[in-house]
Copies of this chain bind each other. A is one copy, B any other.
Amino acid sequence: MAVYTEVSDEALRAFLADYALGELLAFRGIAEGVENSNYALKTTAGDFILTLYEKRVDPAELPWFLALMQHLAARGLRCPQPVEARDGAALRQLAGRPAAICTFLPGVWPRRVRPEHARPLGEALAGLHRASEDFTATRPNGLGPAAWMPLLDRCRAGGDAVRPGLIAELDAALAAILAAWPAPGALPVGQIHADLFPDNVFFLDGPDGKPVVSGIIDFYFACTDLLAYDVAVCLNAWCFEPDLSFNVTRARALLAGYQRVRPLLAEERAALPLLCRGAAIRFLLTRLYDWMATPPGALVTRKDPLEYLAKLRFFAAAEGAGALGL
């Protein structure tokens, strides 16, 4: 469920009056997404997405996200483009929340990932990295390596109730990951999406019937960090089967697609298994925290943290980048 804030007709009407978007035709809550409230908005000017930013998003950071999306869209990346109101401002207020209207992107996110999705996904991710090369404003990764130990500490008291021995295993895994993490300057840094899961990538069928990326959405974890870490997030999010076995064919296609647009440096390739462990523990820790913090009856799906324990173990056992399809 992704509607946390309800918007009254009067508030919506007043809000839209600041835009040159014609007459309101429809306004429906969207089920996807867990962080913000999203509405499908239709006016005589077309289809749009209205997002109300909920409490997990820092309002001070919204201008950076919107500027990044504007920058990427101007370079041809298919991502939501913030729509400016008559006064030129895209970031506004609605129902007591920061709010923005973005362009609607066609496409369907893959409920079940197929091998044919992997290559265009990799190409799109590298395209995002290339298109943001000249976006110089930076945003630290609030869920990067520096955040992982504090997150683990917050899970320490109740974590073993989720799975006996979990905290000790994570302590050991995290210590090893942090000790080996690339030093600043060791790997290329840029703007990364940092949350490129299947529900954030839309596809349409191309002329040959094969899927083509038609849109990348939800940039609200985007930040300035290791480019190859974004690849590691995708390997975690896209390349495991439902039974949590690693699909190396899909990984190979993802990496080939990525490298067709932006070849990985030798250092990046060598670091990839480590970065994958880092990405696995990042999603494990946030899911574990959410799992323990989500009250029963809350209107969000709690995502199983232990899925990422299996992924973490897989990557820890992987012998070099070859095991990941490189």
Task: Using CB atoms and an 8 Å cutoff, list the residues of chain A in contact with chain B.
Answer: 1-3, 6-10, 12-13, 23-32, 40, 42, 47, 104-108, 110-112, 114, 202-205, 211, 296-299, 301-302
Contact = CB atoms under 8 A, between A and B. Distances in A.
B8 A111 contact: yes
Number of copies: 2
A149 to B, nearest CB: 29
Given A9-B111, A12-B108, A296-B297, 19 more contacts: A1-B31, A1-B299, A8-B111, A9-B211, A13-B205, A23-B204, A23-B205, A24-B204, A25-B106, A26-B106, A28-B31, A28-B40, A29-B30, A29-B31, A30-B30, A31-B31, A42-B47, A42-B106, A299-B301
Contact of A31 (B2, B13, B42): B2
A228 B25 CA distance: 31
A252 to B, nearest CB: 21
A6 B111 contact: yes
A82 to B, nearest CB: 19
8 contacts: A6-B111, A7-B111, A9-B110, A25-B106, A26-B105, A29-B32, A30-B30, A299-B299
Contacts of A1: 1, 31, 299
Contact of A297 (B3, B47, B106, B297): B297
Nearest to A25: B106
A38 B78 CA distance: 26
A108 B31 contact: no
Given A28-B30, A30-B31, A204-B25, A112 B8 contact: yes
A1 B27 CA distance: 16
Given A28-B30, A29-B32, A9 B299 contact: no
B3 A31 contact: yes
A301 B31 CA distance: 14
Contacts of A114: 9-10
A47 B40 CA distance: 12
A29 B30 CA distance: 6
Contacts of A3: 31
